[in-house]
Amino acid sequence: MNILVIGSGGREHALAWKLAQSQKVQRVFVAPGNGGTALDKRLTNVPITDPTALADFAQKEKVGLTVVGPEAPLSQGVVDIFRARGLRIFGPTKAAAQLESSKAFAKDFMQRHAIPTAAYGTFTDAAQAHAYVDKIGAPIVVKADGLAAGKGVVVAMSLAEAHEAIDFMLEGNALGVVHNAGGARVVIEEFLQGEEASFIVLCDGKNVLPLATSQDHKRIGDGDTGPNTGGMGAYSPAPVVTPNVHARAMHEVILPTIAGMAKDGIPFTGFLYAGLMISPDGQVKTLEFNTRMGDPETQPIMMRLKSDLVDVMLHATDATLDQVTLQWDRRFALGVVMAAANYPAEPRKGDAIAGLPANAAGTEDGMVFHAGTVAKNGQTLTSGGRVLCVTALGDSARTAQQRAYELMQGIAFDGAQWRTDIGHRAIKR
């Protein structure tokens, strides 16, 4: 079978890497792919990003399964285009992808279906947004309503920070984010105390299959300091998701979401990612939904998955996920992101990367997944903010952490930055 993975990040590299391990696979195409997928002989990069052109390619190459990685093509309706041609594709429709592409849609949906989340207000008018912040006080969270590549959220610890974020997102629309009805819009939420976790499941429209739990590190600096990023590292499993928290997440968030989407006439298929805030007493509230796998959570999750991912995807697209039981490596997986100079503000591109492992397919317990890289003239160069995710397995959180940082040694590019404490919460527990 020929398989197509849409996207160019670390998440897509990890999905393609895992799919290529199946005996059912003849070729795995990655569109457009990156420098890492270019190095792996089992993968073939395809320089296409337009959804209609991707469907044309899938028909021409007799692609039997397409898996969508990032949010942008989902919000452009790539799933609708493929399905209209009878092509097998895993992901949500454009309408269902609004759970991620519009923060306001998601918040209104959660309120309508009694899914626990933070109190909020939605604003297009800056004066009204400023007045709301003055009324509620700080700390408070300001979110751009639209796709902002993980950079559209400001956790404002002071009123000044909140007002600055409103001006940044609304007055100048510096992020260039446009919500589904047009223009700039912000969602302002109450600040929640607790520990965040990533709860990701597969959905086939009616059945739900949870993946291994995970936790990422959003802030750029050690000790969770500095600005938010798309994620500086992740690990799986997440010890904060106890069996009790897992049950609550399924029964209070995931299952009501799938039922609510079906009730609203928008059945959900694809990966559903609930960003959860878990309070010290185990209460669960939904921070956000993503309608795809997380990045960098996908990398450690795929390292631990022992089941054939192609089999799982075929069941997911046949609406038979209730027939699947996933097998997991009992070990801990941890990934450390190496980011470009000046990330997250204005990441530098074009720096040569030295010291990459000779085996592009990795080893039994270690793998370097590429995100912001490109192959050029026999070199691998940086081409984005998050460049690599160095991922390793270990019998404990500490062992996996040590192995990941050992694997990083020798990999170098100018201005590289990374955190030295990925996994600190899991190790403390």
Cβ atoms within 10 Å of 117's Cβ, excluding its own: 21
**Cβ(173)–Cβ(184) below 8 Å:** yes
With bands split at pLDDT 50, 70 and 90, how would you rate the model's confidence at 297?
A: very high
With bands split at pLDDT 50, 70 and 90, how would you rate the model's confidence at 228?
A: confident
> Could you give phi then psi for residue 207, rounded to 5 degrees?
-95, 150
Instruction: State residue 50's pLDDT score.
Output: 97
Instruction: State residue 336's pLDDT score.
Output: 98
Q: Which residues pair with 370 in a beta bridge?
A: 388
Instruction: State residue 179's pLDDT score.
Output: 58
Cβ atoms within 10 Å of 424's Cβ, excluding its own: 17
For 94-110, the pLDDT digits (tens) are 999 999 988 889 999 99
Residue 262 to residues 96, 107, 203, 267, 416, Cα–Cα distance (Å): 10, 17, 12, 4, 45
Cβ atoms within 10 Å of 357's Cβ, excluding its own: 16
With bands split at pLDDT 50, 70 and 90, how would you rate the model's confidence at 185?
A: confident
- Alpha carbons 87 and 317: distance in angstroms, whole number: 10
- Residue range 187-210: mean pLDDT, rounded: 95
As a whole-number percent, the residues of the chain with pLDDT over 90 amount to 89
Cβ atoms within 10 Å of 269's Cβ, excluding its own: 25
Q: Is 80 exceeded by the pLDDT of residue 126?
A: yes
- Residue range 339-351: mean pLDDT, rounded: 96
Instruction: State residue 134's pLDDT score.
Output: 95
For 410-428, the pLDDT digits (tens) are 999 999 999 999 999 999 9
Instruction: State residue 150's pLDDT score.
Output: 56
- Alpha carbons 66 and 273: distance in angstroms, whole number: 19
Q: Is 80 exceeded by the pLDDT of residue 183?
A: no
Which structure tokens are listed for 248?
């609550």
Instruction: State residue 172's pLDDT score.
Output: 63
**Please, how many CA atoms are within 13 Å of residue 36, restricted to the half-sphere of its CB?**
29
As a whole-number percent, the residues of the chain with pLDDT over 70 amount to 96
Coil, strand, or helix at residue 119?
coil
Q: Which residues pair with 196 in a beta bridge?
A: 277
Q: Is 60 exceeded by the pLDDT of residue 389?
A: yes
Cβ atoms within 10 Å of 391's Cβ, excluding its own: 34
For 245-261, the pLDDT digits (tens) are 999 999 999 999 999 99
Average pLDDT over the chain, rounded to an integer: 94
- Whole-model pTM? 0.92
Q: Which of 238, 237, 235, 248 is nearest to 282 (CA)?
A: 248
Residue 376: what residue type? K
With bands split at pLDDT 50, 70 and 90, how would you rate the model's confidence at 238?
A: very high
Instruction: State residue 103's pLDDT score.
Output: 84
| 80-89, 144-153, 356-365, range with the lowest pLDDT | 144-153
**Cβ(395)–Cβ(207) below 8 Å:** no
- Residues composing the chain: 429
For 168-181, the pLDDT digits (tens) are 888 765 555 555 56
Instruction: State residue 147's pLDDT score.
Output: 65
Cβ atoms within 10 Å of 243's Cβ, excluding its own: 7
- Alpha carbons 140 and 117: distance in angstroms, whole number: 14
Which structure tokens are listed for 111?
């309120």
